[in-house]
Amino acid sequence: MAEIGRLITAMVTPFDENGEVDYAQAKRLANALLDSGSDGLVITGTTGEGPTLSTEEKIRLYGEVKQAIGNRGAVIAGTTDNNTAASIELSKEAEGVGADALLLTVPAYNKPPQEGLYQHFKAIAASTQLPCVLYNVTSRTSLNMTDETTIRLSHIDNIVGIKEAGSDLDQIARILEGAQKDFLVWSGNDNETFYIMSMGGFGVVSVLAHLVGSQIKHMMGLLLEGDVEKSAAEHRRLLPLFKVAFVESNPIPIKHALNHVGFNVGKPRLPLVPPSEKAAKQVEEVLSHYQVDLPVPA
């Protein structure tokens, strides 16, 4: 199976001045993110405004980004919603255009029981040869996938890990203890990466790696080398930036930050809007205290 990597960026989707997907800019951003520390990219996830993209736009993004980056990094396609049959179809399409892995998000709105979650993810995984990463994000779905369900799913061969953004560190500890030994846990929140990796987590699916990817990778490397004190200091140093990126709904702040530093990704699509004046100033003020790792076009 493809090597997915420890530092994954949940990539924004650039739009042009007409609100259309800017595929050329997406390819430039993908390579810039790999140049600044990322091992792979989630395409059309939450940060990529997946819910507002058409199926055709998603498939084209997977294919064009993969073609642009080649074997430099993994493309992890966010292909699922609360419709199992449609999720299977999009997952097959993503595999067909070269995606390296799939991100399988806990369904929102229809609130399946835990058995429904198990059957949903089992069916999607069975439809593809690609490695699958589960995604638990209770703040957006209003539904927690329990550690028991995650551990059960870890026994399916091509379900290789989980992006955990439920912010329940005890639940994450139980997953790390009880899942198959080769099952990986990525932090789903930048401000929790240090804690989750300290317990044995593998890495992070990051929003802030858009800006400080090399610095996040350095923090992770210090921890892996056993220098907990220096890693903790880096975590504390980066924490204000981790927090301000969520002063309004993601990806509103990170898109504003990218535009502010000169890497144009356009406005969000409705129903998301640009940040309020207050939020924009907060983002800019905090960002002014950091060096940006992302190479910005001249």
Report, as residue numbers or ranges, the catalytic residues. Answer: 135, 163
Amino acid in position 206: S
Distance CA 255, CA 272 (A): 11
Distance CA 244, CA 194 (A): 18
Distance CA 61, CA 178 (A): 36
Distance CA 263, CA 4 (A): 25
Strand-strand pairing, 159-164 and 184-187: parallel
Q: Is 212 exposed, middle or buried (0-12, 13-18, 19+ CB in 10 A)?
A: buried
Q: Is the dihedral of CA 214, 215, 216, 218 positive or negative?
A: positive
Residue with structure tokens 């921890």? 223
What the block records as the tokens of 260 is 């502010």
Distance CA 268, CA 250 (A): 10
Q: How many CB atoms lie within 10 A of CB 195?
A: 17
